[in-house]
Amino acid sequence: MTEIEDFDSKPKRARVEIRSALNFSDEDKIGTIQPYDDALVVILRIGGYDVKRVIVDQGSGAEIMYPDLYRGLNLKLKDLTAYDSPLVSFDEKVVIPKGQIRLPVQVGSEVVEVGFIVVEAYSPYTAIVARP
């Protein structure tokens, strides 16, 4: 008697690929002038919405939300918690925050809670996210 193996009946393992949430390879540098110091501006999913013009700032010590995004997410002053430490803007002016709010931010498949400081100041960006 001969035993016949059924290869299709064996459990199959899914391939798992582990990647950073946001990374760049040497191939991505092709055609750029190095060292490359332009701003990294991305689209992030914040509070369930795709948000354009989010700047990633390696030197920032805080995540900042500007008025366009604050109003676009239909946030109200009652949604904010107190934040009473003044900030210094890019043009070296002191800015008093309206408050802060924690919102889910999705990058790829990863979702993290981010505490944004809400400021009433002009910016061509909707938000700043820090990158340690």
Question: pLDDT band at residue 15, thresholds of 50, 70 and 90?
Answer: low
Would you say residue 79 lies in a domain?
A: yes
Residue 57 region by backbone torsions, left for phi larger than 0, else alpha for psi between -120 and 50, else beta? beta
How many domains would you assign to the chain? 1
> Which structural domain, as residue segments, surrounds residue 65?
19-130
Cα-Cα-Cα-Cα torsion 41, 46, 50, 56, nearest 10 degrees, comes to: 0
Please check whether residue 82 lies inside any domain of the structure: yes
Cα–Cα–Cα angle for 45, 49, 54, rounded to 5 degrees: 50
Residue 67 lies inside a defined structural domain of this protein: yes
**What does the block give as tokens for 80?**
């904010």
At 105, which CATH number? 2.40.70.10
pTM: 0.70
Q: How far apart are CA 36 and CA 105, in angstroms?
A: 26
In this prediction, residue 88 carries a pLDDT of: 81
Task: Evaluate whether residue 38 is within a structural domain.
Answer: yes
Does a structural domain hold residue 28? Answer: yes
- Whole-angstrom distance, CA of residue 119 vs CA of residue 68: 10
Classify residue 14: in a domain, yes or no. Answer: no
Q: For residues 20 and 12, what is the distance between their CA atoms, to the nearest angstrom?
A: 25
Q: Is 39 left (phi over 0), alpha (psi -120 to 50) or beta?
A: beta
Q: Specify if 81 maps to a domain.
A: yes
CA angle 38, 32, 60 (to 5 degrees): 25
Q: How far is CA 125 from the centre of its chain?
A: 13
- Residue 71 host element (H or E): helix 67-72
Q: Which pLDDT does position 61 carry in this prediction?
A: 77
Does residue 13 lie within any of the structural domains?
no
27-82: pLDDT as tens digits? 877 777 776 667 788 899 999 999 999 998 877 778 999 988 999 999 998 999 99
